[in-house]
Amino acid sequence: MARDYTLQRVPRQTESQIDYAAELNPQQFAAVTAPPGPALVIAGAGSGKTRTLTYRVAYLLDNGIKAGNILLLTFTNKAAREMLDRVEQLVPQDTRDIWGGTFHSIGNRILRRHAELLGWDRNFTIMDREDQKDLMSSVVSESDVDPKAYRFPKADVLLDMISLSQNTNEDLDELVAWRYPYFDHLREPIKRVRAAYDKKKLETNSMDFDDLLIRTLELLRDNEGLRESYQKQFEFVLVDEYQDTNHIQAELIDLLAARSKNVMVVGDDAQSIYSWRGADFRNILEFPERYPGAAVYKIETNYRSVPEILTLANSAIMANREQFRKDLEPHRPEREMLPALIPVHDPNTQAAFVAQRILELRDEGIELEEIAILYRAHFHSMEIQMELTNRGIPFMITSGLRFFEQAHIKDVAAFIKLVSNRRDEVAYKRIVRMLPGIGAKGADKLWREWLGSPIGKGEVVTNFSEIISQFTVPAKAKKAWEQLGYTFDELIDDEGNGFRPAQMIPSIVGGVYDDYLRSKFSNYESRKQDISQLERYSEKFENLDEFLSQLSLLAGQDAVGATRQEPDKESVTLSSIHQAKGLEWRAVFVVWLTDGMFPNSRVIEEDDDGKGLEEERRLFYVAVTRAKDELYLTYPLVWPNAHNGEVLQRASRFLEEIPGDLMEEWRVGTGW
């Protein structure tokens, strides 16, 4: 007969021995020990935001709040794990019942319990991006969208449109009109596809990541008993990075905290930089209005940066009107080295300065992994990537693929390759598959026709369009195919040879590629800027083959470097500022600080109410507060341009707003 044996839980202390006043600074202590009720904690850059939230959870547990009655919402799983692990080390209480995680993970947890109330089964599938694209492509193929319609948005673009509409609470009609004006004539079919996509998700018992928030909100709104149950359970709601919440997340917080009003949100309005993906700056700015009587705590002691950098940062954000005023105070001693302002002649000189100074910093004892180069847009890093590659300085990119590895750069290069080598099968198929209605089999067939034509046989040809007009193409591709022929005609001279690369690139984009770029990629403007940068780079090459060889060598070095680089190998970080938020380095270079680059030209031109410019200034503030010891602010005085010669550049207005005595200007001369 089996014997029953019960394991007993080891008794633990019910209260920690934390001396909160000793372990926290006075501002952190005030926030951590705040009485019940709504509270907004403005935690400046490097001020110990995570420490404050962690100790707040410990303080609640020490004061008798049960772990299961605490909800901790974060934006990354890593942040949630770090905080909960730290809480577990701080207190003797069992912390496993705390509801801690990202908004999406908490939404998923609730939906797994109650999905049937919305028509889904509890075992619903969560689609990743590839799954979403497959489902959307299926919906489009089954819809009444005219298959001959020129350049209907690809699945990726449709999904981004729908997601942005949901996360900004903006009508899809209006969003298409102002953000995707080139699809304005397709608004009705886009809306029908959206409705069919939602229906298909329900039919297939699938949800996407946006659904994890939207359906959770819908569930709680429409089911009073369920809503009240969760409101009673979550006596205390804590939110990290509140400045990054969108309207759905803010509403979800309000709904869950409606009963107790014990909601503490932590963030920094000066680091609100994600409006382009739906974050609403007004959420943190208007929190005291959403919660009348809310206590506001400011944590302003910075443990990251030296005083010289903090003084500059405080000055940099001063011009913003919409903000909670604060003044970061340094904890570290002075370093007696001001941030450096470095005007240089052109982008290549800027790259040379950055590379040379990096090598000097390494010799001075700063490891390469403690150095970062930050920029507003990915294409700003092109010359720097080439310079680092040529000097053998290892680097890793957190803002996407290396410049010459990007799909749109390879696409444009394919046209030039095919003009240079008319038997380049890879380039040919890459081009024809961009056209509507042509897949892998169609590309194979068209390649055989190409090989059998005078072009493929190596004869001198000056009129591509006349020859390829005889090829058999699907009806859907006829218009684009005709335009492709005209495009190739523009790429060759009267002797059948290709023009200079800088002459070819505008013809490629203006001919067929711009339409493809719009329909294929949601970040059309950014990729268009990349191609403009490629054009400027190509201006130095008279010879087509020399240009293509250089592209291949750079891409090859990139690939070899990426393959050989071990995860822990010392390397410089190249990153967009958006990607760098939350990170820090001993030395930081912020590059391309000219008006039109940073702040972005589109913001300058379209910013009627000043809100866009204020977000750009917050982005600059985020950039400079990444630096711990040394900060270098660089900009080129001229920008070589094939059409207008050397274009003079004006220093960024953000630099002009900073008193000159807060920076040391470096005059860079050339020794060659």
Judge whether 240 counts as a catalytic residue. yes
The token pair at 38 is: 């709504």
d(CA 396, CA 551): 19
Judge whether 254 counts as a catalytic residue. no
d(CA 64, CA 82): 23
Please give the angle made by the CA atoms of 273, 278 and 279, to the nearest 5 degrees.
45
Nearest to 652, CA basis, from 587, 615, 590, 598: 598
The token pair at 660 is: 């000159």
Phi, psi of 607 (to 5 degrees): -85, 85
Of the candidates 62, 160, 235, 241, the residue annotated as catalytic is 241
DSSP designation for 369: G
DSSP designation for 513: I
Of the candidates 235, 240, 595, 614, the residue annotated as catalytic is 240
DSSP designation for 651: B
d(CA 400, CA 599): 21
Of the candidates 626, 628, 629, 634, the residue annotated as catalytic is 626
Cβ atoms of 519 and 397 within 8 Å: the answer is: no
Cβ atoms of 301 and 24 within 8 Å: the answer is: no
Q: Is the dihedral of CA 423, 425, 427, 433 positive or negative?
A: positive
Cβ atoms of 432 and 443 within 8 Å: the answer is: yes
Peptide linkage before 436 cis (omega within 30 of 0): no
Q: Which residue has the tokens 């195919």?
A: 481
Which are the contacts of 341, defined by CB distance < 8 A and separation ≥ 6?
633, 655, 663, 664, 665, 666
The token pair at 617 is: 């200034």
d(CA 240, CA 233): 20
Q: How many other C-beta atoms can be found within 10 angstroms of the C-beta atom of residue 426?
A: 11
Nearest to 250, CA basis, from 106, 50, 105, 103: 103
Judge whether 277 counts as a catalytic residue. no
d(CA 172, CA 166): 8
Q: How many residues does the chain have?
A: 672
Cβ atoms of 163 and 179 within 8 Å: the answer is: no
Q: How many other C-beta atoms can be found within 10 angstroms of the C-beta atom of residue 459?
A: 11
Of the candidates 27, 54, 95, 271, the residue annotated as catalytic is 271
Q: 3-state SS of 412-476?
A: HHHHHHHHHCCCCHHHHHHHHCCCCCCCHHHHHHHHHHHHHCCCCCCCCCCCHHHHHCCCCCCHH
Of the candidates 27, 28, 49, 370, the residue annotated as catalytic is 49
d(CA 465, CA 467): 5
Type and span of the H or E element at 342? strand 340-344
Judge whether 360 counts as a catalytic residue. no
Query: Catalytic residues, which ones?
Result: 49-50, 240-241, 271, 626
